[in-house]
Amino acid sequence: MSWIRRERPAGAAELRQALYDGDVFLLPATRASLALVSLATELRQAELGDPPRRAHERFPDEELFTRVGRLRRALYTEPEAHALLAAMGGSVGFAPEETAFDPARLRAIVHGAADNPRAAPVYYPHRDTWYAHPRAIVTIWTALEDLAPHETFVFYPERFAAPVPNDSEVFDYDEWVSRGWSLKIGWQDRNASLQARYPTVLPNDGAYGRAEGFSCRCGEILLFSGAQFHCTLPQSRGLSRFSLDARLVHLGDHARGLGAPDVDNRSRGSALGDYVHPVARG
């Protein structure tokens, strides 16, 4: 039996509590998720051509990085993408009028990139909370194509509520965004990983417990707490992986101090103030 749940609780509050307790949900595609995927696919086609998953064969590394950067910025700042993300969250129980979100980021896990030192932080095992997000953070994720288990990422559920040796204290949110938003949007600066400090695990025996992966269909919606300890898988079979992820915070839960266990996060500052909030959406 798969560890990941395919049906969500009927109530929105029950869903959020299950996420805070460590459940992970992979839910059917909705009209909103498919519309967001369609927008991203259209923008990707304009930048990368066809087939997009083999763009690394057509463009030199520098040009591919620039093209993906333009695509990532467009999706992060596009009002239509904001509206579709809010609707996508709403379609699985995160009411837009109650939820703040950090906009959708395009993730491009390029074939062979794991061998590039500049890309090393992409593959660090981590919790999203190590980047100064609140305990109530929920990550919402969807893929632009059907993906097999080796094309996604893995969770280490036995570490959800157990500490992992890490250096998350190196991350100060205010310092992170003080040089502009290139780091916040992600991978706009080709040398960022060689200069900035990204939280990661400290040397240990590497015994994280069992790894749980998953396959998915295009537009399906993966929901998990930002406290989940997880790791991106390198791509080495000739295809790059493209996906979208964003972060949701139910503001009522946050105000009441609800959320997942916060067992080892020492990051400083708070990203929540820079989320898109309901009033700002109008």
More confident residue, 141 or 194: 141
pLDDT band at 239 (very low <50, low <70, confident <90, very high): very high
Tens of pLDDT, residue by residue over 215-228, are 999 999 999 999 99
The domain at 12-281 falls in which architecture?
Sandwich (2.60)
pLDDT of residue 197: 75
pLDDT band at 185 (very low <50, low <70, confident <90, very high): low
Tens of pLDDT, residue by residue over 23-36, are 999 999 999 999 99
Tens of pLDDT, residue by residue over 68-86, are 999 999 999 999 999 999 9
pLDDT higher than 90, residue 117:
no
pLDDT of residue 112: 84
Average pLDDT for 44-53: 96
Q: In what order do the strands lie in the sheet with 137-143?
A: 25-27, 221-225, 137-143, 241-250, 99-109
pTM listed for this prediction: 0.93
pLDDT band at 196 (very low <50, low <70, confident <90, very high): low
pLDDT of residue 184: 64
Average pLDDT for 126-151: 97
Q: Which contacts of 195-199 are long-range, i.e. CB under 8 A and separated by 24 or more positions? A: 197/167, 197/170, 197/171, 198/121, 198/124, 198/171, 199/124, 199/126, 199/130, 199/131, 199/166, 199/167, 199/168, 199/170, 199/171, 199/267
**CA separation for the pair 256, 172 (Å, rounded):** 24
Both tokens of 185, joined, read: 């949007």
Tens of pLDDT, residue by residue over 89-112, are 999 999 999 999 999 999 999 998
